């Protein structure tokens, strides 16, 4: 808790003309049948006209790229990036499938139930709220001390800022660990609006599912093509030295097993059935 008090920065409550950045630690289960929790940091930029939510690793890489004036690629894709209109449930989703980034719109309405239960979190008094969203039951703890009706991922609409958020089965646990004011809106064109120099491909939810299934059915298609084009030789795939085209079959089966086990998205009702 002492570390948390040092990390959370108090700031003024006016939002107009300024960007507020919130960094959340997310503990999550890639495999819902396993008790192991992975960790990742995610960024929520609350801008005057929109809200953006993305992996912290993208921000770190983008900062370096801006200094070096290049598009050095960093692999992310554990969680989709979100761009949302202020004061709305309308989200533009940016999802990495294979080596390509895709974009599609969703309207993610949620109805909150407010509780009179409160608790302390550092300097803040938090109030409890619950909702059912994306096939999961969620508990949020928000504070009216920060007059911003936002939260991590697609969560929005409470009379204050969400600092803690958790689903009923503890598959996803968001905790605010840091916040700061930015003098100007951070330009994310290098990794959201364009993904390292390439514009995301606009698709529908139906095509998104189709692309996910295609990747599952043949996840190593490009590597296998490259191996054939080079008339064999040697190639390193997933830590295995490939010397025969037949080896791709076993590696494909391993990847497919991995996809099936790690198919636990935040929006459970949007999980692709492999």
For CA atoms 241, 245, 247, 249, give the dihedral sign: positive
Q: At 16, is the secondary structure helix, strand, or coil? A: coil
Paired tokens of 111: 């109805």
Residue 4 confidence (pLDDT): 45
Note the pTM of the prediction, 2 decimals: 0.88
| Residue-level pLDDT at 7 | 42
Three-state secondary-structure class, residue 167 = strand
pLDDT in tens, 48-69: 999 999 999 989 888 887 877 7
Dump pLDDT digits (tens) for 15-36. Answer: 456 899 999 999 999 999 999 9
Q: Where are the domains of the chain?
A: 2-201, 204-270
For residue 234, the model assigns a pLDDT of 74
207: nearest Cα among 135, 136, 133, 105? 105
Q: Which residues of the chain are under the pLDDT cut of 50?
A: 1-15
What's the CATH class of domain 2-201? mainly beta
161 contacts: CB under 8 Å, gap ≥ 6: 22, 142, 143, 145, 146, 147, 148, 149, 150, 151
Q: Which residue has the tokens 């076993």?
A: 250
Strands annotated E in the chain: 19-28, 38-46, 50-55, 81-85, 90-97, 100-107, 113-121, 124-133, 136-143, 161-167, 172-182, 201-202, 235-237, 240-242
Per residue in 83-92, pLDDT tens? 999 999 999 9
């Amino acid at each position: 808790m002492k570390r948390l008090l040092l990390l959370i920065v108090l700031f003024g409550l006016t939002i107009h003309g300024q960007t507020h950045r919130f960094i959340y630690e997310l503990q999550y289960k890639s495999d819902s049948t396993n008790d192991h929790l992975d960790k990742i940091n995610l960024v929520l930029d609350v801008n005057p006209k929109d809200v953006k939510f993305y992996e912290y690793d993208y921000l770190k890489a983008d900062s370096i790229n801006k200094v070096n004036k290049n598009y050095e690629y960093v692999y992310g894709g554990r969680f989709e990036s979100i761009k949302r209109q202020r004061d709305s449930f309308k989200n533009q989703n940016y999802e990495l499938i294979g080596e390509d980034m895709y974009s599609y719109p969703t309207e993610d309405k949620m109805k909150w139930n407010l509780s009179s239960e409160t608790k302390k979190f550092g300097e803040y008094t938090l109030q409890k709220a619950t909702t059912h969203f994306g096939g999961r039951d969620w508990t949020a703890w928000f504070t009216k001390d920060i007059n911003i009706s936002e939260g991590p991922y697609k969560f929005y609409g409470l009379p204050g800022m969400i600092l803690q958020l958790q689903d009923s089965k503890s598959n996803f646990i968001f905790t605010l660990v840091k916040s700061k004011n930015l003098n100007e809106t951070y330009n994310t064109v290098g990794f959201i609006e364009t993904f390292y120099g390439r514009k995301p491909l606009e698709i529908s939810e139906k095509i998104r599912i189709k692309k996910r299934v295609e990747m599952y059915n043949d996840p190593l298609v490009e590597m296998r093509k490259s191996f054939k084009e080079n008339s064999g030789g040697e190639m390193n795939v997933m830590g295995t030295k490939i010397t025969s085209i037949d080896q791709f079959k076993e590696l494909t089966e391993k990847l497919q097993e991995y996809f099936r086990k790690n198919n636990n998205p935040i929006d459970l009702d949007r999980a692709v059935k492999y």
